[in-house]
């Protein structure tokens, strides 16, 4: 029973790790796209000011997920 519980915990830890680092990659890609959109002046549907607001929010989300990833890594040691 203890072995099964330990295996399940390891699986959950691995899934959490994968989720966090996948999210980090996605957010980093989103930031790159927002910066490119801002540099190009946007596509007319969303103002550059709104794009800047989105960039700021996305950068804060990145910081949050970096913190979560750090906690997961420390927990897995």
Q: Is 9 helix (H, G, I), strand (E, B) or coil?
A: helix
Q: Is-contact 54 34, C-beta < 8 A? A: yes
Per-residue pLDDT, 31: 98
Torsion of CA 48, 52, 58, 61, to 10 degrees: -160
Torsion of CA 14, 18, 71, 55, to 10 degrees: -170
Diameter of the chain measured on Cα atoms: 60
Per-residue pLDDT, 61: 98
Per-residue pLDDT, 49: 96
Per-residue pLDDT tens over the stretch 30-69 = 999 999 999 999 888 999 999 999 999 999 999 999 999 9
In this structure, the number of other CB atoms found within 10 A of the CB of residue 53 comes to: 13
Residue 14 CA to residue 8 CA, distance in Å, equals 10
Per-residue pLDDT, 43: 84
């Amino acid at each position: 029973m203890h072995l099964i519980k330990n295996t399940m915990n390891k699986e959950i830890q691995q899934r959490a790790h994968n989720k966090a680092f996948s999210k980090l990659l996605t957010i980093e890609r989103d930031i790159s796209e927002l910066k490119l959109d801002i540099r190009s002046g946007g596509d007319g549907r969303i103002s550059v000011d709104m794009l800047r607001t989105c960039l700021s929010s996305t950068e804060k989300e990145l910081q949050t997920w970096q913190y979560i990833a750090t906690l997961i890594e420390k927990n897995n040691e």
